[in-house]
Chain A
Amino acid sequence: GAVVSQHPSWVICKSGTSVKIECRSLDFQATTMFWYRQFPKQSLMLMATSNEGSKATYEQGVEKDKFLINHASLTLSTLTVTSAHPEDSSFYICSARMGQGAGNTIYFGEGSWLTVV
């Protein structure tokens, strides 16, 4: 079946540095990818919608300058957390949509744990 892979699975970075998380669709082209954030024992909150070749659409309250999203190809979207702070520590999950029709399935990556120290 379709697979969405995230890298890295775990990352620890120092406060003030930037960290990049990759989301790849391994066996299909994804014109649209979504980035979610999940705090421990809480639900997933959509951060932004990433469209290949265009700017991402951010949800209300998400700082676009802090969470940079690049969807440069049909199989890769990246999330860069800039000037990370401990409160950015979270589980980040991406998802990718196969095709554009309403009947197409969204597949989720395995998630990436970010710890800012």
Chain B
Amino acid sequence: AQSVTQPDIHITVSEGASLELRCNYSYGATPYLFWYVQSPGQGLQLLLKYFSGDTLVQGIKGFEAEFKRSQSSFNLRKPSVHWSDAAEYFCAFSPFGNEKLTFGTGTRLTIIP
């Protein structure tokens, strides 16, 4: 079955520390992968997406993600987090590009001073 998994429900990091949020997918071919961020009570904002080409994708707000086919992963990283990065992060997958998205269960990020 096609699915995307975010193993970490909640992550806490100190402001200024590095961050990595994990995402794994299950699909027979290379999927289209996305990372979205959701602030409390708000809609979703696209951080970055991977369709093909360079496996290291740069996004907004200083985020990047690396697609690793061998590990079926698309982990999100940021070298130094800011308090404003506290939010819920969703990894999403689509087999056909911008068709309907299947979302992971999300990772809630808490930033401590």
Q: Which residues of A contact B (CB under 8 A)?
A: 4, 6, 34, 42-46, 49, 91, 93, 95, 97, 101-111, 113
Interface residue range, chain B: 20 to 34
In this complex, what residue of A is CB-closest to B88? A41
Query: In the bound complex, how far is the Cα of B6 from the Cα of A42, in angstroms?
Result: 12
Q: Is B35 an interface residue when CB atoms closer than 8 A count as contact?
A: no
Secondary structure at the A interface, as helix, strand, loop or mixed, is strand
A93 engages B44 (CB within 8 Å): yes
- A-B residue pairs in contact (CB < 8 Å), sample of 28: A6-B43, A42-B105, A43-B90, A43-B103, A43-B106, A44-B44, A44-B90, A44-B103, A46-B100, A49-B99, A91-B41, A95-B101, A101-B97, A101-B98, A102-B51, A102-B96, A102-B98, A103-B98, A104-B98, A106-B46, A106-B98, A107-B46, A108-B36, A108-B46, A110-B42, A110-B43, A111-B41, A111-B43
A108-B102 contact, Cβ under 8 Å, with A102-B32, A102-B97:
no
Looking at the assembled complex, report how far the CB atom of B98 sits from the nearest CB atom of chain A, in whole angstroms.
5
- B51: A residues at CB distance < 8 A: 102-103
Shortest CB distance B8–A (Å): 14
Q: Does B45 contact A (CB under 8 A)?
A: yes
Measured between beta carbons, the chain B residues less than 8 angstroms from A6 are: 43
> Chain A residues near B45 (CB, 8 Å)?
108
Question: Which residues of B, 38-57, contact A by the 8 Å Cβ criterion?
Answer: 41-46, 49, 51
Nearest chain A CB to B112 CB, angstrom units: 20
Beyond A43-B90, A44-B90, whether A108 also contacts B103 by CB under 8 A is no
Residues of A within 8 A of B42 (CB): 110-111
How far apart are the CA atoms of A44 and B4 in the complex, in Å? 12
Q: Which residues does chain B contribute within 8 Å of A97, judged by CB atoms? A: 98
In the bound complex, do residue B104 and residue A43 qualify as a contact, i.e. CB atoms below 8 Å apart?
yes
Report yes or no: B44 in contact with A108, Cβ–Cβ below 8 A: yes
Q: Which residues of B contact A93 (CB under 8 A)?
A: 43-44
Q: Point out the residues of chain B lying under 8 angstroms from A42, CB to CB.
A: 105-106
